[in-house]
Each structure stands twice: as C-alpha cells, then as structure tokens.
Structure 1
Amino acid sequence: MITLPVHGMTCASCAGRVERALKKLPGVTQASVNLATETAAVEAPGVAMAELTASASAAIEKAGYEVPRSETALAVEGMTCASCSGRVERALAKVPGVLQARVNLATQEALVDHLALPDLPETLIAAVQKAGYEAHPRDDAGPTGPSPTAPTHRRTGLAAVPEGWQVLLAALLSAPLVLPMLGDLLGRHWMLAPLWQAVLATPVLLIFGGRFFVAGAKALRAGTANMDVLVALGTGAAWGLSLALWWRDDTGMPHLYFESAAVVITLVRFGKWMEARAKRQTLAALDALQALRPATATVLRKGQPVHLPIAQVKKGDLVQVKPGERLPVDGRVLEGRSHVDESLITGESLPVAKGPGDAVTGGAVNGEGLLTVQATALGAESQIARIVRLVANAQAAKAPIQQQVDRVSAVFVPVVMALAALTFIGWWWSGAGLPTATIHAVSVLVIACPCALGLATPATLMVASGLAARRGLLVRDASALEHLRDVAVVAFDKTGTLTAGQPRLLATLTPAAGPSEGEALTLAAALQAGSEHPLAKAVLAAQAGAASPSAPPAPLPPTTGLRAVAGRGVTGQIAHAAVPRTLALGSGPWMAELAVDRSALQAAADAQAALGRTVSWLADVSPGQPPALLASFAFGDPARAESATTVAALQAQGLRCVLISGDNPGAAHHLAQAVGITEVHAEVRPEGKSALVAELKESLPPGQRVAMVGDGINDAPALAAADVGLAMAHVDGGTDVAMHTAGLTLLRGNPWGVVEAIALARATGRKIRQNLFWAFAYNVVGIPLAMLGLLSPMVAGGAMALSSVCVVSNALWLGRWKAPAP
C-alpha cells in the first residue's frame, strides 16, 4: 500500500472524486482518501511500487488536484561496479512514494524523485543500507563550501588511512611474494617458506581486501552479485587452496598461490585508487565554480562599510565591490560603472561593461570601477549555486546508452560466475587436478570487469558536462548530449535568439521643411524620458549615442503634461525655442486619427516597414494650428553579429536550419536573408511552434533528431517538444525559464554556442563508444583466455585493474577538446 499527499481538496466531494479516480486504475483493489490529513491510501498488490506511485499521482492530477513532489540527492558509499549501482537503484525504486531513482556509479550519488512525504528521505537511506551500502544526504554546498551545520561523515580505523597509503602498504607486503617469481627467470631460488608466504599474504587479504569480502557478503545476502563477489571468491579461493595444499604437503616446499591472492587484491586496490583520482579530476570544473564566490562581503550599514561573512548578507543589502574584487552576491548595480569579467561563469572572454541598472553575477571579477550592488539572490538561489546544482544533477543522471549498459551489467556477474564454475569443472574433468582447476577458475573470476562497463558512460559525461560549464554551456539533461550528436534539423526562434531582443533606432526621417534629424531625436527623447518601453529606451540610447567628446548631447527640453495613450503612443507639452508646443509620438493609425498628413515621408516609411521594421511618427499637434509632421523613426532588432556565422557553420556540416518566428513575414524573411536561412515560418504562435517542431520530427528518418533554439521564455512549448532544446540565457529572468525547460542552456547568450554544443556532443559520443569498446574488449578477450588457462590470476587481476583506469583516463582525454572557433 502507498500513501500519497493530496493538495487542493476543500470538501467531501473533492475527496470522493479523488477516490473514484484512484479506484479506476488497473490493479487497484482499495483506495481511500482522508480529507483531514489530505492523504490518499492506495493498495494494488500486483503492481510495482514505482509504477503505482506514478499512475496514482497522474490520476490525482488529472482529477484537478496536486500531488506535491520533491527530490532527494544521496551520496552512496561502497558501490564498486554497475551491478552495485543497479542494486541501489532497484532498492530505492521499491520504496513507497518513489517516482524515479537514478544512481550514478562515477559520482557515487543517487537522485530520487519522490512524493513530498515527511519521513521519506530517512526511509530512502534505510533502503540503501538494507541493500548493503552506506548513504547520507548529499551536501549541496553552495559556492562557498559546506554549510557549517551540514552533517560530517568521519572515518575511523583503517578507513581513516588515505587510500594511497593503503595501496602502498599492500604493495610492500606483496612484493616479497612476487620477487621469487622474478628470481626464477634469473635461475635463482628465492621462494619464501610457506609460513612467511601466509604471514605476508593474509594481512593483505583480510585487512586491505576485507572490504571486498564484507561488500560481497552483503550483496549475496541481498540476493545479488557484484564485482566484490568476484574478487572475494577469486582471492579467497586462491588463499584457501594454498592453505589446503600447505596442510597436505609433506615435502616442506609445496607450490602455493598466496602470491595470487595478495597481488590481485593489491592490483584491484591500486586500480580503484587511480580511478578515484581520475574521477576527482572530472569534477574540477564544478570545484572551480564552487570556489568563485568570496566568503565575506563589504555591506553598507547606515552608510558605513562593514565586512560581514557571506552568510549574514541579506537580500536587499547594499554591497560595495572594490576594483579587482569578486562580486560576493547576485544583484543589480545602483552606483558606479566598471567592466566585469564573467568568463568563468559564462565563458565570455571579454569583460562586460556594467552600470546603474545592470544585473551582475556573484563570482565575477570587478574591473576598474567601484560598484555599489543591491543583493537580489543569495546562497542556494544564486546563479552559481543553481549552475552547480544543475551540472551535478546532469552528471548524476543517466544517458539512454548507459541504461542499456546497465541491463547488460545486471546479468554480467552471474554469467561470469557460471563461466568460472564451468571452467573449474572442465579442467577438473580433464584430469588437470584440483589446484589447476581452481586457479583457472580464479583467473576467470578476477579478469571479469563490470567496473569498466559501469564507468564507460558516466565518467565521460562527467568530463563533458564540466567542460561544457567552462564554455558557458549548461547541461541539464544527460540525454541531451547524446541526442544532440544525431541532430539533422536546427530550428531557431528569431527575437532574442538570432537577434539581440533589444530594439534599436535604425533610421530617423524628416521632411524637407521640418527639423534636423538631431533636433527631431532630441524632441522624441524628451517625450520618452523616464519611460520603460523598449522603443523609448531605443530612442534615449540613440540620442545619448549621437554624442561625441567634441559635441555632447543636446540637453532635453523640459516637458509637462506627459500622457501615455494606450496602444497608440505618448503626448506632452515641450518648451521648444521658448515656444510651448504639444507633440505626439506614436503609431501610424494614431496619426491618422489626429489628422496628421504623412505623405511627405510615407514612401520612405513604407520602405522601412518592408524591411520588417517598426515605424513611429512624431507630429506637432498644438491647439489652434494644423497638425504638422516632424519626423518618423524606424526601429529594428538586427541580427546578432554571430548569427550568420553560426548558420553557415551548421549548414557546412549538412544540417538544415529553419527559422520559426511569431513576427510578421517581412521581418522574418529579412532576418532570414541576413543570416542565410532559406526555410522560414512566420507569424507562428507559441503553441504553433511546438506543433511545427513535431512536424519536423515526423519528416525525418529514424535516428535523426530536431534541435530547437529559443530564448526560453515564450518558446518553452517548442523547447520541450524538440528532441533537444537549447535555451539562450537572458539577464531579465529568461535564464530561470531556460534552465528548467531546455536540455542545454547557452549562458553566454551567443548562438555560436549551438555549434560548440554539437561539436562537444559528437566528441563525447566518440569517447563513450571508445570506452564501451575497451570495456567489452577486456572481457570478450580476457575471459576466454582465462578459461583456456592462458592467464594467471595475477595477470588477470592486473588486467582488471587496468581496464577501469584506462576507461576513466580515456574519458579525461576529452578535457583536451578544443571548441570550434567562429
């Protein structure tokens, strides 16, 4: 039985409707709803727990109510191979209330989507422990490091000794057992007495290899088998056989296999140590992000600067940032101007100019100016903290190819054990004797390498997601990288994606008998002063930009009676040349209502409109005289500097580029022509964009995919409908939408990031295929050789350790990948 929380019920009728919806589900034998506790209890004996949870939640939500959900991240200790991660995943999925569980071997983490039940996190930890592993909540430390109240997990005894020292001690004890074998090659007899062999090998087996026996026993008790079982059985059999032969021997110098047990343990531990070192390198990008934000901030309290720990800074505080310092918080600039280096966050190499009103990100480096910043986001809500969480979650997620590998790994260990038993029976049956048959079976157990299979994909994805973060590409969904390499069609939104999303004044037109362009611009700017309308900002920016050191901008004349006319424009009185005049600035239809004659500029304005530009008109409508046309202004949202280069690069790779825009056909076709796109769909509403993306997907042959690039705000349906969604980040809040909608977010707001993302996805795919090849090759070649008696246990142990190291090291080579240049 499962109990689900239900929000939104207000009366007995609501409870009855939920109960009826649950009873209609296949397999449900009983369902009851408690209005007072806002819970629903469902019983379905023949249905898997995760399936029942998902179907019951969907039924409740379809009935019009909410089932609150949550996500728990656990750090899992003790997993050594893909079989382990699969067992933990199955254990978590069986917990009532769990919707989905994803376990990543490389990061040693589990991500669990579940119902928001109060005691469920503790139940999840207990389920992992029952499966034979240790678990604790993942310390989601912010960029400043672990919280002072976060639980600590101290190691005691042998576990407190660094892994490298344990490997060294095991090697020192094993070396005297190996040296006699080298002496045999030189004709020297250096073989130790059986007692000394046992004295040296036993501590290696029981102390440094004890973890394999403990973990293997837990696995067997849980009804499964993993790499620990293989190692424990193999080394235990070699050690036990040596004891038996020593006990039965009368010559005083029998042929024993203590060295096999000791050397295999040492080599496997060495491989695990190297693997752990390599995996730490894969997290270097996240470590760099976490170390960005300083631990203290200079906060203005009653106008005086006070140095405070970052934990004491509150939202809304004024923070002073000196030249050369890192910004401690996300916020908006209130005073000062400077250039800010955001390269470690966005990947943008050049510092960005910042002034009053501009948003800044914590962790960026202030340039030459003193800034006063009002804090808008702190701690877990800061940009860096969100990026770290999303990248960590992407690393913990599983790509589709990894799910296939996990299915292979689930049967791998039982098959290997069966092959080892078959090897033992075959050699014994052929008359080779018990020692020989046992040693060959041990070789089969030891050569088998589920570790490499389990690490091949996640280790590569860890490196790729960290590498992407350094390039300003935020990977939210691990499957996005896998799908992106198969993309055949890239659909672009227009505004905010291929264009900057900020209108600019592109042309000022005046009649022959009217004012000069500069005078007209000054009059329009006076009417627009203080307005937040995008076109008003464009006029003010153009008027300020028209200045030069030798000719500063003309002062704006005083205005009175400013009034915005909804959907039409703005009007007000301006004292121009000591004469008060009433001016109107707005649309063509409004000018027609005001009886303004626009014939002098109509042809030129129509030409601007044909280019997809928005035209506004400025007229003198002072009472007591005929309305007079003063000027017209053409506004446009030009293409980004990188848009044409991006499209050309994608088309050079054989990709089909499509423009999907809600703008008018003139503007859409003009932009498409400017950037080199021939397939254009204009005047498409948001819901129409998702339908169009679905049509593009249906038109492609199997195996080819569609990517959608948008600004992440009004393009959310299309981003979700595409095989891969890439969202352009914006400082106005679009970043939040982008992070939760698309599989990848382009933090730099630069379309060239699409080219980089596709190149990285293809490089990642090649590296994953290489790793899987080597992981399978080790087993496909090594196991038959071991069964034929051509590999000793020591060689087999070395090959097993080497396979994991090779896979992780090969994944690290992806860090040398160079992004394509525009």
Structure 2
Amino acid sequence: MSTSKDIDLSIEGMSCAACVNRIERAVRKLPGVENAQVNLATEQARVSVADDGPDAAALIAAVVQAGYQAHEMNPAAAAPEAVPANDWRELALVVGGGILTLILNLPMLTGLEIAPLWQWLLATPVQLLVGARFYAGAWAALKDRSANMDVLVAIGTSAAYGLSVYQALTVAHHAHLYFEAGATVIVLVRLGKWLEMRARRRASAAIRALHALRPATARVQRHGQEADIPVAQLRVGDRLVLRPGELIAADARVLEGRSQTDESMMTGESRPVDKAAGAALIGGSVNGSGLLLAEVTAVGTETVLAGIIRAVENAQLGKAPVQRMADRVTAVFVPVILLIALITLAGWLLAGAGTDQAIINAVAVLVIACPCALGLATPAAIMAGTGTAARQGILIRDVEALELLHSVQAIAFDKTGTLTEGKPRLVSQQTFTGSAAEHLRLAAAMQKGSEHPLAKAVLDAAAGQALPTAVDMQAVPGQGVQAEIDGARYVLGNRQLLAAHGITPEGGVAEQAEGHSLAWLARVAPTPALLGLFAFGDALKPEAAAAVAQLHAQQLRVLMLSGDNVGSAEKVAATLGIREVHAGLSPTDKAAIVARLHGEGVRVAMVGDGINDAPALAAADVGIAMGSGTDVAMHTAGVTLMRGDPRLLAGAIDISRRTWRKILQNLFWAFIFNVAGIPLAAFGKLNPMIAGAMMAVSSVFVVSNALLLTRWKSGAQHA
C-alpha cells in the first residue's frame, strides 16, 4: 500500500499571498507530490510526498526555480532565534534609505530646493539598493508568468523614477520631479515588511518557548557512574539523575526520590505537581527541590514535548478553508490590479491630464493594491491563537478543529475520567454463589494488564493476593472483559455483556441509586452461573460543575453519553446540571448518537478520555480528549486538554471564537485597505507616498491585531 510522508521547508523571499500561490504551484507540479501548503506568516511549507516521490533537495530546487530560497527543517533542531542576523541588515537598509528619503523630502517640508542632479544622486541608491529585493522578486515572478507584490512595487516605483529622470533631462529646471515619491514608497514598504517580520516572530513565541525547554545535556547513571551526555544520545531505559532546579531531559518514570515538578509550559498547570516513585515525568518540565532517579521512557520525537511542538506546528502550518478562499482571490487580484493601473493611465491621458499626472496616479494604484495584508490576515491569527492556547494547556492539533470549534452548538461528554476523577474504587461486593475473596481474585486475574479505571480499582483492592492465571483474555469495548481461568470461562462486565451470554444479572438497585458503577462476575462455561456483583464509586472532578455552567453560559447544549448504568449517569448529570443523559451505551452507540445529532444539523464536539470514546471522537465535528486519557483518544481528537480540568473546554471554545473573530476582522481590514484605496488612487485622490504608507500600515495592522490574542487567559488557571 502506498504511503506518504511530510517534508517541512523554510522559505525565504515571500512578500505576499501571490508568492504563496506560486510556490505551491511550482512544488505541486513535481511527480509524487500529493499536497503542498505554504504559510506566509510562518514562512514555512509542508509538502506531502509519496514514498517514491521527490526528496527534499528536489523540492528545494523547485522553490529556487520559482525565485525563492528554501532549506529543509529539522524537527529536532532548535527554533530560530527571535531576531536573526539578517533582520539587522534589513533594518540598516531601511534606516539608510530613510535618511536619503528624508533629505529628498526637505523641499516639501521646508520649501528649500534641491537641484535635479542631487535629487537623482539621493534617489538612485534607494531605488537600486534598497529596492533591489523588489526587482529580484518581480523578475522571478515574471519569469514564472505570474505577478506578486514585488511586481506592483517594482513597476510603480520604476515608473516614478523613470519619469523623474526623463523630466530632469528634457524639461526646464522648474519641472516637478517625483524622485521622493518612489523612494518614499520603497522605504515605507520595506519598513512595513521589517515591522511585520518582528511582529510575526512575536506570534511564534510559543513555539520558540517550547523548543527552549529542551536541555542540551542530561546527567545519566551508567555502571554506577554519573556522566553528562548530549540529550541526542539518550536512549529508552537510561537512568536520569535529576538534580533540584534542572530541566528534565526526556519523558521518564521516577525510580527513587520525591520532588515536585513545574509542568506549566506543557499543561498550563500553574501549581507544582508532586512526584514520587512510579510517577511519570514530562521531558521539558522543571524538577523542584528534590533529587530524583528516573528511567527514560521516551526520547526525541516520541516525547510529550515533541508531540506538543508537532501539534502546534501542524495547526500553524495548516490552511483554514477561509484562507484558501483568500488565496484564490489573490491569484487573480494582482493581474486585475495591473489592468486597473493601465486603465487609470489611459483614462488620465485621454482626459487631457499630463503624462506625469497619469503615471503618478497609476503608480498609486499599483502601490495601494499590494495584497500583503490579505495573505497575512488568517495565518497570523492562527499562529497567535494556537500558540496562546498551547501555553494555557489547550493543544489544538489542526486548523480545521480551530475553525470548527467556534461554531459548535452541542458538547457531548463521556462521564468517567472526563467529568469524574476516573479513579474509581471498589466500594462494595455482593455474592450470589461462592466467596467474595475468590470473586475478587478471579476479577483481578481477568483485569491484569488492563488500563481501564475499573480494572485498576479491582487490582488495587486485590493488591498483595496471589492471583490465578487468566488466558485468552478479550476486552469487549464498552461492556467488559472475558477470559479463561483453570479451564472455566468467565465474564466481568455490564448487563449487556451478561445478556449476550444468556445470563440475567441480579441486584445492584441500591448501588445504582447511589450513583455507583456496576460490574457483574459470571461463569459462562462449562456451567453458566451468576457469581457476584462489584460496585465502584468515582468522585466528581471539583471543576466539573463550573465547567458545565460555563458551557451553558456560552449558550451550548450539553449532553452526557456514558457507558455506565442509568442510575450512576443520571445522578452525576443531576449534580452537574446536565439535562440530557444517555446511559448504558456501547462505543458504537455513542458514535451513532453523535452522528444522529450531526444529521439534524447540530454541530457537535465530543469530549472523552478512553478507548471506548474513540469512535465518537472521530464521528464528532470536533473531538476533544483529556490529556490524562489514553493515547488512542488523544490521537483521534482534534483538540487535547493537557490537564484533566474540564473548564479548559470552555476556554478552548472561547479562544476558537476569538481567533475566528480576529480572522474576520483581519480579512475585512485587509480588503478595506486594498479595495477602498484603489478607486481613491485611480481618481487622483491618493498620492504614491500615502499609498505606500497605507500598504505598510495594513500589513502591520493585521499582525498586531492578531497579537492581541496573546493576552488571552483560559479562565481555568489555578491559584
């Protein structure tokens, strides 16, 4: 079966959404490329290729052929520095050009005159050196038979510069020259791009902060000796020596010692988390005041931290449907603007205006229409929103989940581990035949190795007892487990499981009324018999009631879909204020209810934490997993709440809504700057200098507007 892989590239030289379209087209032409997504805000590309498709070198060659620079990104490498060296070179060019341009504008500011020769000497370095990137970008675009922002700026400023040279050489010295107009546009646009780059890097601060959690070295214990080694050399099974205050180099399990760790960067949990023997450690968290000896359980790209970074990058690299629409508009936008500029030129000439006035008005059209802001509107908001959410413990894995979450109408909760602690304990036993002690040993033998919360409760209750050997164990999702012990076949589970084997369960009425979860033990072969009943109690999460109240305040319909018995589910629902309860459900039943709601036109988010929730998570418009749950649930979900606080769900919906509003605001203002400015320029009401300033301001505005999302707090922070 053919499979695909993703190759991530860093792209240099993009100026607007038209550049994005051109790079995507160039890469998609290569045989074996299945998809290509380029993000202007992150300056990155993700290319999906078949196993026998092109390698990174071939993709880079295609990007270079399109007129840009690229290199492959190393997932294990550190994030780029906040202010790269070429930023200072860019700033030096802008400052130098700005000084020359300021001198050129002295006549307008002070009334002093500058001779045409001196104007030419001042303007030429700005036009040819500071403006060199526009010529390079325009040439690459025109070779590719396309157009972008660079084409608009290069043509517009060259027209102003050329007209001024012509006027200086052929007309009397009183002729009006436009050297300052072209120079001002170039400097303002480059200044805008520099400010935009700085703002974009602020938006990607979350990724850099996560990368910074990776220490360079780790102290390991080997053959009784301690030594510092590079983190890249760590292997699963190595023993880490973690001193107080150190960054934990990889995911691990505590073998000896007691301490607390700060996991706030990964989970948003502001309080230190107690750690003792057997506790899991997250690589990148900070050890507290205790000395720990721990065994490495995951390294490199398999760690929790790497997974968080990968998920945030996936969301930021992804392209929302609304962005695809903007890209389609941009694909025809630049050619249309070139046509409008020609019509403006011809119209003013036919109206009897001078050649210089006609050219200047056409230049203003070209400059004001640059679609930089349009290309940045959506990805800048997505970068800021997903990065901020990650810092608060809300991991949004893909951009579709971010876009859909804002419009969900109903939230469907699993019960155990989502609204309850997921740490039930055995509270009572009832026997129908045989002894309670023997029943407990049989149940524990059948549950050995299981990660289910009820299985752990049984195993805890039977701790220290000698257990018989169970063989041919089979988990029945949403119902229970069956196994063979000493030649007899047993089942342990709910009413549906027993009914499937022709056994009628008894008892449990009082326990069910108390809200306890029930599991019956029965022998199904060679002679069927109902043996006993186990009742489990599970405490509600302290934050659950507040979480449900927050969702109701957000005008959302809240449901509970539980595999537990009706009494237990209804008692929990009544305590929390959930009015719509479906209990005794199998995994397929949960998925079917979600699908039915979907069919009724209700957009549904499903919240769960177990294997039995995976089908419903996949069926929902948006699947939301608890970070304390199983890997299957987290891999199926589009959103993961990194700590077990259900109040984060309201936060996830809130940040999605805010991000969506920012996207719409940015698109609106980007279109306003472009579309409203074009007729003003065409009718001579906007000179090129003001047009250049407006274009630069529009790009900085949309990125700065998106950055307001970085102030957001989830409302679920611990004191």
Counterpart among 710, 728, 746 of residue 641 in structure 2 = 746
Q: Structure 2: how far apart are the matches of 1:527 and 1:684? A: 22
Task: Find 1:92's aligned residue among 27, 51, 54.
Answer: 27
Residue 524 of structure 2: aligned partner: none
Q: Distance between the aligned counterparts of 2:589 and 2:614, measured in 1? A: 12
Correspondence 1:683 to 2:578: no
User: Which residue number in structure 2 is paired with residue 273 of structure 1?
Assistant: 194
Q: Secondary structure, in 3 states, of the residue corresponding to 1:790?
A: coil
Q: Distance in 1 between matches of 2:483 and 2:306?
A: 42
Structure 1 residue 813 displacement after superposition: 1.1
1:132 corresponds to which residue? Answer: 67
Amino acid paired to 2:510: A
State how far apart, in whole Å, the 2-side matches of 1:170 and 1:712 are.
Answer: 61
- The separation in 2 between residues aligned to 1:747 and 1:406, in whole angstroms, is 33
Any unmatched runs of 5+ in structure 2?
474-480, 487-491, 496-505, 522-530
Contact 2:196/2:700, CA 8 A, preserved across alignment: yes
Alpha-carbon distance in structure 2 between the residues aligned to 1:662 and 1:346: 28
**Within 5 A, what are the aligned runs for 1:719-738?**
719-730=617-628, 734-735=630-631, 737-738=632-633
Structure 1 residues 652 and 140, CA, compared in 2 at 3 Å: closer, same or farther? Answer: same
Cα shift at 1:667: 3.1
- Please say if residues 31 and 54 of structure 2, whose CA atoms lie closer than 8 Å, have aligned partners that are also in contact: no
Q: How does 1:243-392 map to 2 (within 5 A)?
A: 243-249=165-171, 251-392=172-313
Q: Which amino acid aligns with 1:614?
A: L
In the other structure, the counterpart of 2:136 is: 214
Alpha carbons 1:609, 1:615 under 8 Å: kept:
no
In structure 1, distance between residues paired with 2:594 and 2:650: 20
Q: 1:489 aligns with which of 384, 391, 410?
A: 410
Unpaired stretches in structure 1, ≥5 consecutive residues: 1-65, 148-153, 185-189, 511-519, 545-555, 573-585, 590-601, 618-628
1:470 is displaced (CA, Å) by 0.2
2:457 aligned partner:
538
Q: For 1:114, which of 35, 40, 49 is the aligned residue?
A: 49
Cα offset, 1:713, TM superposition = 3.1
1:535 is displaced (CA, Å) by: 5.3
Q: Distance in 1 between matches of 2:356 and 2:260?
A: 75
Residue 274 of structure 2: SS of its match in structure 1?
strand
Offset at 1:475? 1.2
Residue 413 of structure 1 pairs with residue 362 of structure 2: no
Structure 2 partner of 1:820? 715
Paired residue for 1:713?
Answer: 611
Q: CA deviation at 1:398?
A: 0.7
Which structure 2 residues correspond to residues 431-510 of structure 1 after superposition, within 5 A?
Answer: 431-506=352-427
Aligned to 2:158: 236
Give the deviation of 1:561 after TM superposition.
Answer: 7.9
In structure 1, how many angstroms separate the alpha carbons of the residues matched to 2:422 and 2:561? 15
**Aligned residue runs from structure 1 range 137-216, under 5 A:** 137-142=72-77, 162-184=89-111, 190-216=112-138
Give the alignment partner of residue 517 of structure 2, picking from 597, 613, 616.
613
Deviations 1:38-75 (A, max 9, x none): xxxxxxxxxxxxxxxxxxxxxxxxxxxx1121111111
**CA 1:570–1:67: 2 relative to 1, 3 Å:** closer
Q: How far, CA to CA, are the matches of 1:429 and 1:335 in structure 2?
A: 88
| Contact persistence 1:140–1:146 (CA under 8 A) | no
1:287-326 Cα offsets, whole Å, 9 max, x none, are 1111112211110011222122212222110101122222
1:432 maps to amino acid: A
- How far apart are the structure 2 equivalents of 1:571 and 1:100? 53
Indicate the SS of the match to 1:315. Answer: coil
C-alpha distance in 2 between matches for 1:137 and 1:491: 41
2: CA distance, partners of 1:607 / 1:319: 50
For residue 17 of structure 2, what is the aligned residue in structure 1? 82
SS of 1:102's partner is strand
Cα pair distance change 1:748/1:805, threshold 3 Å:
same
Comparing 257-266 with 321-330, greater Cα deviation is found at 321-330
Does the 8 Å contact 1:569/1:587 carry over to 2? no
Alignment check: 8 A CA contact 1:759 1:820 kept: no
The one of the two structures with greater contact order (alpha-carbon pairs below 8 A, sep at least 6) is 2
Counterpart of 1:797 (choices 683, 687, 692) is 692
- 2:574 aligns with 673
Q: Give 1:175 shift.
A: 1.2
1-structure distance, mates of 2:170, 2:682: 27
Alpha-carbon offset, residue 588 of structure 1: 12
**C-alpha separation in 2, matches of 1:98 and 1:794:** 43
**Counterpart contact for 2:517–2:564, Cα < 8 Å:** no
1:253 Cα deviation (Å)?
4.0
Post-superposition shift, 1:128? 1.7
1:234-289 alpha-carbon deviations (Å, 9 max, x no partner): 0000001011111112x334211111111110000000000000000011111111
Q: Distance in 2 between matches of 1:562 and 1:415?
A: 79
SS in 2 for 1:496: coil
Residue correspondence of structure 1 range 623-638 to structure 2 within 5 A: 634-638=535-539
Contact conserved, 2:392 with 2:713, CA < 8 A, in 1? no
TM superposition shift of 1:773: 1.5
Q: Is residue 442–residue 468 contact of structure 2 (8 Å, CA) maintained in 1? A: no
Query: What CA distance in whole angstroms lies between the structure 2 residues aligned with 1:353 and 1:318?
Result: 20
Matched, 1:759 2:654: yes
Classify 1:782/1:670 alpha carbon distance in 2 versus 1 (closer, same or farther; 3 Å): same
| Displacement of 1:478 | 0.7
Partner of 2:240, secondary structure, is strand
Which AA in structure 2 matches 1:635?
F
CA distance in structure 1 between the aligned counterparts of 2:147 and 2:98, rounded to whole angstroms: 27
- The alpha carbon displacement at 1:726 in A equals 1.1
CA distance 1:463–1:738, change in 2 (3 Å):
farther
Q: CA deviation at 1:821?
A: 4.5
Do the aligned partners of residues 798 and 134 (structure 1) sit closer, same or farther apart at CA in structure 2, a change above 3 Å counting?
Answer: same
**Inter-CA distance 539–71: structure 2 relative to 1 (3 Å threshold):** closer
Q: Distance in 1 between matches of 2:716 and 2:251?
A: 30
- Give distance in 2, aligned partners of 1:398 and 1:473: 20
Measure the CA separation in 1 of the matches of 2:133 and 2:627: 47
Structure 2 distance, partners of 1:569, 1:216, is: 71
- CA offset at residue 393 of structure 1? 1.8
TM-score by length of 1: 0.77
Aligned equivalents of 1:318, 1:122: Cα separation in 2: 39
Deviations along 1:645-691, whole A, 9 cap, x unmatched?
21222122221112222333333333322322222223333233333
Identity of aligned residues (%): 52
Give the match for residue 42 of structure 1. Answer: none
When residues 340 and 540 of structure 1 are mapped into structure 2, their CA distance, relative to the original with a 3 A threshold, is farther
3-state secondary structure, aligned to 1:297: strand
- On the 8 A contact 2:220/2:239 being kept in 1, the answer is yes
Tell me the residue number matched to 2:477: none
Distance, in Å, in 1 between the alignment partners of 2:115 and 2:608 is 74
**Kept after mapping to 2: 8 A contact 1:476/1:739:** no
Matched residue type, 2:126: V
Partners in 1 of 2:341 and 2:592 — Cα distance? 55
- Once the two structures are TM-superposed, the CA of residue 350 in structure 1 deviates from its matched residue by 1.5
1:538: Cα distance to partner?
Answer: 3.3
How many Å apart are 1:106 and its aligned residue? 0.5
Letter in structure 2 aligned against 1:334:
L
Alpha-carbon distance, 1:369 to partner: 2.2
The change in CA–CA distance for 1:317 and 1:183 in structure 2 (over 3 A counts) is same
Name the CA shift for 1:356/1:531 in 2 (closer, same or farther; >3 Å): farther
